[in-house]
A and B are shown apart, each in its own frame.
Chain A
Amino acid sequence: MTNPGPKILVFSTEKISDPAIDLAGLLKMHYQARAYTIIVPCSSAIKPRWVMFAFEQGFDGVFIAADGTDCPYDTACTDKTAQILTNTQKQMKERGIDPARLKMAAICSVCSEPFVKYIKSFSEYLSQNN
C-alpha cells in the first residue's frame, strides 16, 4: 500500500467555516481524506492544549479554519484566534514541533475553494517535511 499521506486535524466553526467545508463536499471539490474536522462554536475558543494533544496523539498537522471578520460573536475574533495560534506555536517550539504544522486561515461560509487549496498545500508541506 502506498503512503496514505499526512493526518490533519481541522478545527472548524459551527456557523462560518464548517458550512464552507460542507459546501466543498457539495461541489465535489476533492481534498485529502485524511483531514478530519472537529466543530467548535468559534475559532477563538480553541484551546492550545487540544492542539498539543492532537500532535501527541500522532496528528501531523492542525488547521484552524477561523471565523475571521465574519465571526458572529466577536469583531476581534481574528486577533484572538491569531493570539491562540501564537501561544500554541510557542509551546510547539518548546517541544521541538515545527510551528508550521499549525496553520490558520479565515474561511468564510462559502470559501470552499480556498479551504480546499489550503488543505492541499498544507498536506503537501506536511508530506515534504515529514
Chain B
Amino acid sequence: MQEENKNREFDVLVIGGGIAGQESSLNLANMGLEVLLVEKDYSIGGKMIHLSKVFPTLDCSACIATPKISETARHPNITIFTYSEVKDIEKSGKKYIARVIKKPRYVKEELCSGCQECEFVCPVYVPDQYQYDLVGRKAVYVPFSLANPRVAAIDIDNCILCGACEKVCPTEAIDFTMEAEEIEIRFKAVIIATGFNLFDAHNKPQYGFGKFKNVVHSMQMERQLVPTRPFNAVLRPSDGKMPDNIAYVLCTGSRDKSVGNPLCSQVCCMYSIKQAQLLMGALPLADVTIYYINIRAFGKGFCEFYQQSKTMGVEFVKGKVAQITETENDNLIVRYEDIFEGKVKEAEHDLVVLAVGALPNPDVPDMFKNEKVELGEFKYVKQVDRFACPARTSMEGVFVSGTAAVPLDIPDSILSAGAASSEVNSYIKKLGI
C-alpha cells in the first residue's frame, strides 16, 4: 500500500481542499485529468463547511458544501491526501516534482468507522479550533460532524498517553506507532488554492478582543448560528445570557493601514448583514446595529439583500469605531464617529461582533524549493495576466485559484476556481506530454 504511494504520477496537484480547491479538482477530473488534492487539515471543506447560511440566498452552507465534498471524495480521478503538507515543489524538465508529507493522525483512516467511542473515553479537554475556541474538544476526536473523511484523529501534543482510546476502539483503528510519511509526486501543473487567513482580532487592541469577554469575532458568531452550534442558542460568552443588543464592527482588519491591510475584504459587509438577519430570526427581541464605512453590497442579489435587512429592522450606523471599553456588567461601550451627524458618540451593547477581514495565507512561498512563485504587493499570489488569464502566475505550470490571489466571496471563488481548471487543462494539452 505504502509502496504504491511512492513516486506517483498525476496530471495536476491541487493544494488546498476548500471550496476553490474542490471546484478546480472536480472540473479537472471531469475533463479526464488525474488530480491529487492535498489538504493540510484533517478534512476537506475549507472555511465554507463551517458557515451557517450563505448570502444572499440564505441557503444552508452545509447543504451546498457537503454534496460537493462527497463528489470530490468519491471521484475516481481524484486522490485526496488530508492532514498532509506540501514540503517542496521543484521543476523537473517539463514536469514538476513535489514532496508531500502525510502527517500521522494516529488513527487508521481505513479502519475507523467514526463511532466516536474513543472521543467519549478520552479524559483530555482542549479548546476546539473548529468551534473557534468557544467550547472544548478531546485529544482524540472526529474533527467535526461533517468532516470528510469522517474519522478520528489524535492531537498528540495534547495527548496524555493514557491509552484509553486504544482500549475502547472496536475496530482497532488506533495506532500510536504511525509516523510521518514522505511521498514523492510527479505532475504537470499545480493549482494553488490555499485560501486566505482570517485577520487575528488581537491585532486591533483598541477593540479588546481576548480581553473583553463579550467581544467575539465573526467566525465565532457564525458558529453560534449553525445548527451544530457550540451552545444551545446564541449566548454571550461572559455569562451565558441571551444578548439583546448586538453590535457589528465592520472593517476590523480591512481598509486599515494601521494594521497593514488597506484592502477591502469583500465579504465582511455581506456576511455581517446575513448574520444580522439570522440573529433577528434567532433572537426576535434583540437589536442589531452595524457600524460601517461603506456597505459593499455589489454582487448578484446583494443590494436587494441589504435593503431587505433594513426593512427587517437592522440598524445601520455610518461610522468608524475608534474604541471599545467594557462596563462592570460585562457590557461594552462602543465609541464611534457618527458620520451622518458629524460627532463622536457612544453606545452600549451586550455583545460585540468584530467583522474580521481576509489576509493572505503566508504558507505559499515556502512550498517552492528553487524558483518561487511571485507574490503581489500585499503578499497574495501574483496574477501576471489578470484580465486575460486570471489564474496564471509568474511560473509556468503554476496556477492560482480562489482567495489565494485576492479576497473573494464564495460565488467568485468558485468561478475563479473554474477558470483555473480551464487554464490548467489547456496548458497540459499544449504541453503535449
Contacts and interface: CB of A to CB of B under 8 A. Distances in A.
Interface of A: 15-16, 19, 23, 26-27, 69-70, 72, 108-114
B60 interface: yes
Given A23-B145, A26-B145, A69-B58, A113 B227 contact: yes
A108 B227 CA distance: 10
Contact of A110 (B57, B67, B227): B227
Contacts, number: 38
A16 B59 CA distance: 11
A27 B60 contact: no
B364 to A, nearest CB: 32
A3 to B, nearest CB: 31
A93 B230 CA distance: 43
B63 interface: yes
B323 interface: no
Contact of B145 (A15, A27, A70, A72): A27
A12 to B, nearest CB: 14
B145 A109 contact: no
B221 to A, nearest CB: 17
Interface string B324-352: 00000000000000000000000000000
B226 to A, nearest CB: 7
B145 A19 contact: no
A112 B227 contact: yes
Interface of B: 57-60, 62-63, 66-67, 145-146, 226-228
A108 B145 contact: no
B26 to A, nearest CB: 16
Contact of B228 (A15, A16, A110, A114): A110
A110 B57 CA distance: 17
Contacts of A109: 60, 62-63, 66
B58 A110 contact: no
B59 A110 contact: no
Contacts of B66: 19, 109
A83 B60 CA distance: 24
Contacts of B59: 69-70
Nearest to A112: B227
Nearest to A115: B227
26 contacts: A16-B63, A23-B145, A23-B146, A23-B228, A26-B145, A27-B145, A69-B57, A69-B59, A70-B59, A70-B60, A70-B63, A108-B62, A108-B63, A108-B227, A109-B60, A109-B62, A109-B66, A110-B60, A110-B62, A110-B63, A110-B226, A111-B60, A111-B227, A112-B227, A113-B227, A114-B227
Contacts of A19: 66
Contacts of A15: 63, 67
Contacts of A111: 60, 227
Nearest to A114: B227
A110 B223 CA distance: 13
A110 B226 CA distance: 8
B114 to A, nearest CB: 8
Given A15-B67, A111-B227, 4 more contacts: A19-B66, A108-B63, A110-B63, A110-B228
List the 4 closest pairs (A to B, CB-CB), nearest first: A108-B60, A109-B63, A110-B227, A70-B63
Contacts of B228: 23, 27, 110, 112
Contacts of A27: 145, 228
Contacts of A110: 60, 62-63, 146, 226-228
